[in-house]
């Protein structure tokens, strides 16, 4: 252990393999890294600021006296810190990332370059409109593509992510219902829905009722029809659904929903499977959000930012939120305020939405074109079915028949092996893969939802399939340790999530030794 002279970094114990333990705890290129609070210092800065002009303070006596407790790093230290941290992540750039429902496709670098053009990145949302005509044109361009691709007549660009788009959709639905004096109470959501669907409905003051699935993983149309009535404000349906299946009754469902005066909200998280192949507008959808960070490949960024524009039917268009861009003969105009007679439900966000994501999406759309987007959807579906076909003899598909862009398995193939879906996922880490989405959708036991996306080559799929086949066989052959103790090769071993929740340590408390574990203070 490094102690007399050296800064003991990272996590205490030295690393060992093949009988050797390193003194530093680093292992070759696998480097430990303490927290900035353990490296940085309050008096050090990596940013030079010129001396402030001498003036009499006008802060009104509000000067801060107590120190804040912010460590500073010089630029070399900062670059190293974040480089080292980054190397502890898995990412699309490193390998296949089959996280179902999340569409971890390649993020083209052109998009990043375009988003950094000063004319897009360095303009203020409150600049005079004459100085941002190109920005408004860009927004208008993306809006146009979204409307054409969905066959819907209106789009709200400002929602900040998928869940925010759902909110936008339900707010418009509620406004539309209220406009006709028809307050309704219930939103219907299938069991298989993503958590954001019920959460959004509840956030909007609706009671959420579940509608059951058939054993084929589709909405039980008969059950739905039975439940529909004048108290139902809307149905929220994902299509293709979270089992990776297209809802064959979708048009009938839309008709039935409309028949009782309700609206059809479609969760468009899986639009990537059908873009250019099916226009939701042709299915009777009233509102649908589109995750630009999924279908249109704006990067996921470790958890955002996303962007969730919502397309609307004629019925809902008047209730769409502010602001929006209007194209007149001479110019583009940003409409920020309600005008006399407007029925918009109001504003969802300060300013005008995720401009940086719009630029990336525009770059993606223009690059692919109508033909490329369609091809991307087809390839996404092809890849998922290829995986399904190649794994169905060793793993257990949750449902029969072809899937759309993701292949859903359950854990029957692990029966009596002592290996859980979680263990199986962690063993995939050792094999060089990010695990699939686990335990979602809830309608399937021990679900494993695999979404390869269209940007994986056949060779990449074959390697992945080979790895999963080998693992499935190993599980059946009783190699339990391989799974239950996995991951063996990740930067850390399996983490104790229960402890984290029971004894939450949510911020750094200065402790004695860099790398040491915090004694939790707030026990549940």
Partner 1 sequence: MRYLPHMDADRQSMLADIGVEHIDELFRDVPAAALLKEPITSLPNHATELEVERMLSRMAGRNTPASAVPFFIGCGAYKHHVPASVDHLIQRGEFLTSYTPYQPEIAQGTLQYLFEFQTQVARLTGMEVANASMYDGSTATTEAIFMARRITRRKKALISAGVHPHYVDVAKALAKVSGDELVIGTPELAKGKPGGDYEALLGQIDKTTSCVVVQNPNLFGYVADLTELAEACHANGALLVVVVTEVVSLGLMKSPGEMGADIVVGEGQSIGNGLNYGGPYLGLFACREKFVRQMPGRLCGETVDADGRRGYVLTLSTREQHIRREKATSNICTNSGLCALAFTIHLSLLGEAGLRQLAQFNHARAVQAAERLAKVPGVEVLNDAFFNEFTIRLSKPSRDVVRELGNRDILAGVALSRLYPTETALHDGVVLAVTEIVTESDIEALAKGLEEVLSC
Ligand X SMILES: Cc1ncc(COP(=O)(O)O)c(C=O)c1O
Distance CA 43, CA 45 (A): 7
Q: C-alpha 352: how far from its chain's center?
A: 21
Read off the tokens for 394: 């060793």
Distance CA 459, CA 263 (A): 44
Eight-class DSSP state of 129? G
Q: How far is the CB of 444 from ligand X (least distance, A)?
A: 15
> Judged by CB, which is closer to ligand X: 289, or 426?
289
Pick what 198 binds: partner 1, ligand X, a second copy, none; C-beta below 5 to 8 Å, kind-dependent.
partner 1
> Judged by CB, which is closer to partner 1: 206, or 413?
206
Distance CA 218, CA 226 (A): 16
Q: How far is the CB of 261 from partner 1 (least distance, A)?
A: 19
Eight-class DSSP state of 320? P
The H-or-E segment that residue 438 falls in is: strand 437-438
Cβ pair 475, 429 in contact under 8 A: no
Question: Residues 377, 403, 462, CA angle at the centre, nearest 5°?
Answer: 75
Pick what 145 binds: a second copy, partner 1, ligand X, none; C-beta below 5 to 8 Å, kind-dependent.
partner 1
Pick what 267 binds: ligand X, a second copy, partner 1, none; C-beta below 5 to 8 Å, kind-dependent.
ligand X
Query: Using CB under 8 A as the criterion, what x/- string covers residues 236-275 for binding partner 1?
Result: ---------xxxx-xx----------------------x-
Site membership for partner 1, residue 6 (CB under 8 A): no
Q: How far is the CB of 404 from ligand X (least distance, A)?
A: 13
What sign for the dihedral angle of Cα 476, 477, 483, 484?
Answer: positive
Pick what 22 binds: partner 1, ligand X, a second copy, none; C-beta below 5 to 8 Å, kind-dependent.
a second copy
> Judged by CB, which is closer to ligand X: 9, or 197?
197
> Judged by CB, which is closer to ligand X: 269, or 387?
269
Pick what 17 binds: a second copy, partner 1, ligand X, none; C-beta below 5 to 8 Å, kind-dependent.
a second copy
Site membership for partner 1, residue 522 (CB under 8 A): yes
Binding-site size for partner 1 (CB under 8 A) equals 228
Eight-class DSSP state of 406? -
Q: How far is the CB of 480 from ligand X (least distance, A)?
A: 32
| Positions that interact with ligand X (CB under 6 A) | 101-102, 161-163, 194, 196, 238, 242, 267, 269, 291, 306, 308
Site membership for partner 1, residue 72 (CB under 8 A): yes
Distance CA 91, CA 476 (A): 29
Q: How far is the CB of 454 from a second copy (least distance, A)?
A: 9
Question: What angle separates helix 133-150 from helix 355-391, to the nearest 10 degrees?
Answer: 30
The two beta strands, 263-267 and 287-289, are: parallel
Distance CA 247, CA 273 (A): 13
Hey, is 187 helix, strand or coil? strand
Cβ pair 449, 440 in contact under 8 A: yes
Stretch that binds partner 1, among 221-229, 258-266, 360-368, 475-483 (CB under 8 A): 360-368
Q: How far is the CB of 479 from partner 1 (least distance, A)?
A: 18
Read off the tokens for 270: 């899986």
Q: Within 179-218, which residues bind partner 1 (CB under 8 A)?
A: 194-196, 198-205, 208
Distance CA 263, CA 288 (A): 11
Hey, is 289 helix, strand or coil? strand
> Judged by CB, which is closer to partner 1: 296, or 413?
296
Distance CA 446, CA 421 (A): 6
Pick what 523 binds: ligand X, partner 1, a second copy, none; C-beta below 5 to 8 Å, kind-dependent.
none
Pick what 470 binds: ligand X, a second copy, partner 1, none; C-beta below 5 to 8 Å, kind-dependent.
a second copy
Pick what 150 binds: a second copy, partner 1, ligand X, none; C-beta below 5 to 8 Å, kind-dependent.
none
Site membership for partner 1, residue 512 (CB under 8 A): no
Q: How far is the CB of 83 from a second copy (least distance, A)?
A: 4
Burial-class residue 378 by CB neighbours within 10 Å (0-12, 13-18, 19+): middle
């Amino acid at each position: 252990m490094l102690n007399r002279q050296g800064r003991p970094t990272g996590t205490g114990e030295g690393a060992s393999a093949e009988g050797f333990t390193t003194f530093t705890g680093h292992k070759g290129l696998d480097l430990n890294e303490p927290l900035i609070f353990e490296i940085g210092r309050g008096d050090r800065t990596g940013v030079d600021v010129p001396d402030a002009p001498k003036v009499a303070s006008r802060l009104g006596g509000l000067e801060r006296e107590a120190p804040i407790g912010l460590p500073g790093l010089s630029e070399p230290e900062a670059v190293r810190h974040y480089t080292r941290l980054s190397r502890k992540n898995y990412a699309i750039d490193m390998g296949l990332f089959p996280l179902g429902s999340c569409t971890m496709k390649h993020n083209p670098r052109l998009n990043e370059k375009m988003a950094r053009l000063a004319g897009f990145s360095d303009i203020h949302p409150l600049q005079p409109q004459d100085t941002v005509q190109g920005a408004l044109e860009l927004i208008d361009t993306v809006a146009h593509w979204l409307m054409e691709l969905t066959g819907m007549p209106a789009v709200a660009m400002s929602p900040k992510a998928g869940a925010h788009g759902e909110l936008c959709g339900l707010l418009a639905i509620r406004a539309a219902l209220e406009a006709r004096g028809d307050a309704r109470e219930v939103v219907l959501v299938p069991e298989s829905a993503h958590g954001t669907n019920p959460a959004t409905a509840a956030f909007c003051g609706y009671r959420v009722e579940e509608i059951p699935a058939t054993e084929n993983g589709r909405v039980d149309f008969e059950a739905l029809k039975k439940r529909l009535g004048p108290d139902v404000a809307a149905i929220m349906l994902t299509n293709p659904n979270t089992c990776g299946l297209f809802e064959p009754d979708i048009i009938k469902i839309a008709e039935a929903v409309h028949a009782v005066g309700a609206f059809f909200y479609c969760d468009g998280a899986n639009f990537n499977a059908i873009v250019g192949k099916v226009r939701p507008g042709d299915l009777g959808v009233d509102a649908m959000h589109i995750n630009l960070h999924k279908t249109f490949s704006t990067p996921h960024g470790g958890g955002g930012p996303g962007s969730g524009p919502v397309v609307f039917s004629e019925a809902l268009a008047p209730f769409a939120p502010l602001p929006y861009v209007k194209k007149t003969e001479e110019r583009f105009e940003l409409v920020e305020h309600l005008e006399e007679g407007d029925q918009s439900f109001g504003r969802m966000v300060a300013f005008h939405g995720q401009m940086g994501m719009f630029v990336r999406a525009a770059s993606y759309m223009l690059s692919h074109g109508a033909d490329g987007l369609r091809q991307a959807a087809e390839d996404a579906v092809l890849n998922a079915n290829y995986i399904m076909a190649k794994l169905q003899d060793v793993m257990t598909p949750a449902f029969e028949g072809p899937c759309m862009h993701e292949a859903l398995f359950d854990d029957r193939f692990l029966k009596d092996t002592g290996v859980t879906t979680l263990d199986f996922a962690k063993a995939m880490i050792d094999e060089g893969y990010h695990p699939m989405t686990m335990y979602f959708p809830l309608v399937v036991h021990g679900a494993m939802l695999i979404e390869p996306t269209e940007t994986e080559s056949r060779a990449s799929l074959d390697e992945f399939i080979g790895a999963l086949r080998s693992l499935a066989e190993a599980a059946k052959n009783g190699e339990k340790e391989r799974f239950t103790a996995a991951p063996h090769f990740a930067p850390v071993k399996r983490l104790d999530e229960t402890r984290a929740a029971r004894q939450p340590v949510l911020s750094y408390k200065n402790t004695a030794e860099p790398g040491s574990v915090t004694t939790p203070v707030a026990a549940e």
